[in-house]
Amino acid sequence: MWDVRNEKILIDPVNSQQSQSSEAPQGSYKVGDIVFSDVSAKHVLNNHWNIAVNVKNTSAKNYSYISFTISFFDGNGKRVGTAQDTVHDLNANESKTATFSSIDDISSYKTMKFQINVIK
């Protein structure tokens, strides 16, 4: 939801295209062993957005590198933006907050989808 006064988007997990697993807490999105939650985006200048997401490793494995993409879609299913980031050294059952940016204008988003690009 776009907050005009604060130029910030609070991501509503109910509207996400990502299927929610019964293994992931409500408002979280599980892709393989990784759970994404607490997504927020703040408009900082022009079309520059700062995005934050909590990334949790739910497996018994330690990962040295996880690359992922969040795609944002409008109400017609058209992609309005993407953001990519990496998390390093995410151990078993550990969480880290990833903070990154996008130059796409995602203020009209209605849904989002997570994708893991590389995990090792």
pLDDT band at 3 (very low <50, low <70, confident <90, very high): low
Instruction: Give the residue-averaged pLDDT of 47-60.
Output: 94
* Short-list 75, 95, 85, CA closest to 41: 85
Alpha helices in 58-115 (DSSP H): none
pTM here?
A: 0.79
Residues 116 and 120: their CA atoms lie apart, in Å, by 11
Residues 27 and 14: their CA atoms lie apart, in Å, by 7
Residues 120 and 109: their CA atoms lie apart, in Å, by 30
pLDDT by residue (tens digit) across 91-119?
999 999 999 999 999 988 888 899 999 99
Higher pLDDT, 42 or 16: 42
Measure CA 27 to chain center: 11
The three-class DSSP label of residue 13 is helix
pLDDT by residue (tens digit) across 70-97?
999 999 999 999 999 999 999 999 999 9
pLDDT at 45: 83
**Residues β-bridged to residue 81:** 72
- For the segment(s) 2-119, the CATH number from 1.10.3470, 2.20.25, 2.60.40, 3.20.20 is 2.60.40
Residue appearing with tokens 């697993």: 21
Higher pLDDT, 9 or 29: 29
Domain boundaries defined on the chain: 2-119
Residue appearing with tokens 């040295």: 64
